[in-house]
Structure 1
Amino acid sequence: MEQTLADRDLFYQVLIRKITVLLMVISFLPLMVITGTLFYRFNLTYTEKIQAHISELVQRHSQNIDTFLLEKLGNIRYLAHQFETKQHTPKVFLQKHLKMLKKEYGDVFTDLGLINKSGIQFSYEGPFKFENADYSNAQWFKKAIDKPFYISDVFVGLRGHPHFIIAVKIQSNGSDYILRSTINFTAFNFLVENIHIGKTGIAFIINSEGRLQTKTDIGLKQSIITSMLDRNCYKNNETVFAKKQDASGNKYLCVTSMLKNIDWVMVFRQDLNDAFRDLRKTQILTLGIFLLGCIAILFVSFTLPRNIVKLISKADTKSEAMTKQVVESGKLATIGELAAGIAHEINNPVAIMVEEAGWIEDLLGEEDLKECENLDEFTRALKQINTQGKRCKEITHKLLSFARKTDSTVNDVQINDAIKEMVILTGKMANYNNVIIETKFQEGIPYIQISPSELQQVIINLINNAIDAMEKSGGTIIIETKISRIEKNHLVISIEDNGPGIAKDNLDRIFDPFFTTKAVGKGTGLGLSICYGIIQKMGGKIDVHSQVSIGTKFRIWIPFQENIIENKDNEKESDKQGELT
C-alpha cells in the first residue's frame, strides 16, 4: 500500500513537471515570436514614418527657400531689365525702385547699388553711405562680373553684420554694370528657423565649403561637412537621411537637401533619443507588458498543473471510493439474493408446520379427550404454533416481495395499507435503535397504480436512512400521507425525522449516484439515487428539506387518477352487498 502511494506521488510529480514545461513552451514561444515580430515591424514602420516626415519637412522648406531666392532674384533681374530699356538717372532709378520693393516686401531688400566693371559703386540707395565703395577685391564681385546673375554666400563685409547679395549683370550705353541688392539676413534666417522639431531638432544652411549661412548654436563636425561636399549624394535633388555620431558618442539624425538655385545645402539635425522618444516609450511599454505576460505565464505554469493534479488526485480518490462502493453494492446484492433464498427455504417448512398443527387440532377434535387434563394446554399450544407460523410466513413473504428485483408489475395499491406493512417490517430495527415511528394517515386516500415492490423499496430506504441518522441518540420518525392541495391529483407522502440533519453543502448532491456521508462499508450511495429514479419513473417527484441539528423531511408526490377512486369505491360497495346477500 505504501509502495502504491509512493508510486502515485511520483507519477503526480512527473505529471506536474510535464504539464509545467508544456505550458511554458506553448505559451512563451508564441508570445516571444509575436512580440518580437510586432516589436520589429513597429520599430521599422515608425522609423520609416519619422524619416519620411522629416525628409518631407526639409524638402518642403528647401523648396520654400529656393522659391524665396528665385523670387528675389527675379525682382532684381526685372529691375535690371527696366534699367536697360529705359534711360533713367541712376540715383532716381534706385530711389524709385527701392521704395517700391520695400513697399511690396518690407525689409527684405536692404539697399540697391550700381557698380561699374572696375568694382566702383557709383550709385547707391540705402541706409548706409556706400557711394563710391570699392568692391574690386570682393569675392562676390569677382564671381558676379563673369555671370549674368549671382547670389553670394553670407558674409559680414563693410557693414559689419551678416548679409548676402543678389547681383545681376546689365549693359547700358555699351558698358557693363552690376545691379546688386542686399538681402536682409534676419528675414532670410527666419525661414530656416521655422523648422524646429522636438527639443533638439534644428535646421541650418551651409555652403559648399561647409560654412554656415544661417544662425545656429550647433557646432558642425568634419564628417558632416565632408558628406555635404560630395555632390553625388544629392543626385536628382533627393533628400539624404543618415544616422551619425559625434565625438562625445551622441547619436543624431542628419537630413540634408541641396538647394536648386544656389550651391547651398539645407541641413536638419536632431538627437536620436529626441527623434525616437515616442518609439522608446512604446518600446518600454511593450517590454513592460511582455514582462507582465511572462510573469503571468510563469504563475499559471506553476499553479495550474498543481491544481489540475489535485483535481486528478481527488478524482482518483473518488473513483477508488466508488469502486469500493460498487464492490460493497455487489456484496449487498449477493447478501440480498442469499437472504431471499433463505427466506424462500424457510417459508416451505413453516407452511408444513402450520398445516401439521392444523391437522393435529382436527385430530384432537375428533378424539374423545374430555377427560384429558392437558387438553386445554394442547389446544393453546396448537393455536400458538399456528399463529406464529402464519407470522413467520407473512414476514418471509414480505422479505421475498421486497427482494424480488424484477417485480415491477403495476397494481392498484392503497398507500396507507402499504406503508403500514413497511412500518411493521422496519419496526424491530427502529426499536433496536430507540427510534419511534409515528403515522398520520389521511382518510380516503385513493388507490394508485404503481409497482408495490418499488414503492416498498423507496419507503423502506427512506425509513432506514432516518434510523441510521439517529442510531446514536434515537428519535422520532413521522410518516404522513395526504392529498396535495398544490399539485392537482397528487398524493403526498412525507417522512420526517428529528435527527442531526444534512449539511447545506450536501443537499444538492444527495440524489447523485455513489454520494454518501456514511463511513466506508456502511453505505453505497445508491439508495437515494435509486429512489429518485423510481419516483421519476412513476411520474412523480421527490424533494428534501433539512436543517442541521433540527431534522430532515423528504416529500414524495405521486400522481393518481380520479376514475381509480370511483372504481375502488364501486368494488367496495359490491363486496358489502354480496356479504349482506
Structure 2
Amino acid sequence: IRHLLGDGFARTDFSQPRGSAYRRLWALLVGVTLAFSIIPLTIMTVATYSHYAEAFRPEVQADIERLTWNTGCALNGFVHQSIQGLMLIITEKTLAELSDEAEMTRVLHNLRQSFGSYVDLGLIHSDGVQRSYVGPYDLKGKNYADQDWFHEITIRRAYFSDVFIGFRNIPHFAVAVKHETEDGRFYVLRATFDTEALTQQISPLRIGAATDVFITNRKGVLQTPHGWGGTSSIPVPLLALPIR
C-alpha cells in the first residue's frame, strides 16, 4: 500500500494522517471491490446471453421458415387463382364478347367482386395490339408486340410476369392467358395488378416494427417496395442463396 500511495502514507504519518493519502486508499479499495464485483457479473451476463441466443436460434429460424413456407403457398395460390380466373373467362366467352367493352366491364367488375386486386382487363390480338380495354388508363390501341411478357405468352398458354413499368409508368405485373383459333392465330386476355397485391401476400411475415420483408425475382430485382426506401423494379444486391 505504501508503494501505491507514495510518501504521503509513510509510517511516521499515522499520528497525523494526511487526507489525500486516505482518499487514495479509499478510492483504491472501492475500485478493487467494484472490479471484483462487476467484471465477473459482466462475463456471466455475456456468457448467458450467448448461450440463450444460440439455444433459441434454431427455434426462431424454424418459425421464420414456417412463415416463409406459408407465405410462399399463399403466393402460389394467388398466381394459380389469377390464371384460372382468366382461363375460365377466355374459354367461356367468345372473341366477339371479349371485344365488347361493355361485356368486358361486367367481367372486370365480377373479377373485382370475387377476388379483388384487379386493375384492368384487356384483349390483345396476335399482332400485339390491344383491341379492347377496360380500366383506368388510356391503353386501347397500344402495341405490346415488343414487350417481354407478350413474347412469353406467344410460346405459352398462360404467363405471370415480373413487375415492370410499361406504358403506364407505374410498377405493376400482368397475368395473361392465350386462346388459339382454328386458323392458327390467337388472342390474349390480360389482367394487371398493382404491386400492393403482392405486398398483401407477404404482410403476415411482418412480425415486428424492425422487420423488413420484400420479394425479388431471380435476378435480384425488387417486386415489392422495402423498408429502406427501395421501390419495385429496382435491382438490389443479394447474397447467392440457393433457389428452393
Q: Calculate the TM-score normalised by the size of structure 2.
A: 0.70
Match of 1:141 among 140, 150, 156: 150
Q: What secondary structure does 2:175 align onto?
A: strand
Distance 1:204 1:188 in 2: 9
1:218-256 Cα offsets, whole Å, 9 max, x none, are 3676342xx14xxxx23xx3xxxxxxxxxxxxxxxxxxx
- 1:413 corresponding residue in structure 2: none
Shift of 1:181: 0.5
2:222·2:236 contact (CA, 8 Å) conserved in 1?
A: no
- 2:128 corresponding residue in structure 1: 119
Stretches of structure 1 lacking an aligned partner (at least 5 in a row): 1-27, 238-581
- 1:381 corresponding residue in structure 2: none
Match of 2:168 among 159, 165, 171: 159
Q: What secondary structure does 1:122 align onto?
A: strand
Q: What secondary structure does 1:205 align onto?
A: coil
Q: What secondary structure does 1:217 align onto?
A: coil
Match of 2:186 among 160, 163, 176: 176
Shift of 1:201: 1.4
- 2:210 corresponding residue in structure 1: 200
Change in 2 beyond 3 A, CA 1:50/1:76: same
Is 2:237 the counterpart of 1:222? Answer: yes
Q: RMSD of aligned C-alpha atoms?
A: 2.6
1:193·1:202 contact (CA, 8 Å) conserved in 2?
A: no
Counterparts of residues 77-96 of structure 1 (less than 5 Å):
77-83=87-93, 88=97, 90-91=99-100, 92-96=102-106
Distance 2:138 2:189 in 1: 17
Is 2:54 the counterpart of 1:44? Answer: yes
Q: What secondary structure does 1:88 align onto?
A: helix
Paired AA for residue 186 in structure 1: E
- 1:467 corresponding residue in structure 2: none
Match of 2:219 among 190, 193, 209: 209
1:129-187 Cα offsets, whole Å, 9 max, x none, are 21111111111111121111111111121112111000101123532111110123223
Who wins on radius of gyration, i.e. which is larger?
1
- 2:23 corresponding residue in structure 1: none
2:212·2:227 contact (CA, 8 Å) conserved in 1?
A: no
Distance 2:140 2:147 in 1: 16
- 2:71 corresponding residue in structure 1: 61
Is 2:204 the counterpart of 1:189? Answer: no
Distance 1:65 1:169 in 2: 22
- 1:479 corresponding residue in structure 2: none
2:126·2:188 contact (CA, 8 Å) conserved in 1?
A: yes
1:193·1:204 contact (CA, 8 Å) conserved in 2?
A: no
Change in 2 beyond 3 A, CA 1:185/1:221: closer
1:145·1:178 contact (CA, 8 Å) conserved in 2?
A: no
Shift of 1:51: 0.6
- 1:488 corresponding residue in structure 2: none
Change in 2 beyond 3 A, CA 1:43/1:216: closer
Distance 1:89 1:216 in 2: 37
Change in 2 beyond 3 A, CA 1:39/1:185: closer
Stretches of structure 2 lacking an aligned partner (at least 5 in a row): 1-39
Distance 1:150 1:162 in 2: 17
Counterparts of residues 225-236 of structure 1 (less than 5 Å):
227-228=240-241, 233-234=242-243
Counterparts of residues 553-572 of structure 1 (less than 5 Å):
none
Structure having greater relative contact order (Cα 8 Å, sep ≥ 6)? 2
- 2:24 corresponding residue in structure 1: none
Match of 2:114 among 104, 110, 126: 104
Shift of 1:89: 5.3
Counterparts of residues 339-488 of structure 1 (less than 5 Å):
none
Is 2:147 the counterpart of 1:132? Answer: no
Q: Which has the higher helix share?
A: 1
Distance 1:148 1:89 in 2: 18
Shift of 1:60: 1.3
Q: Which has the higher strand share?
A: 1
Distance 2:236 2:121 in 1: 37
Report % sequence identity.
26
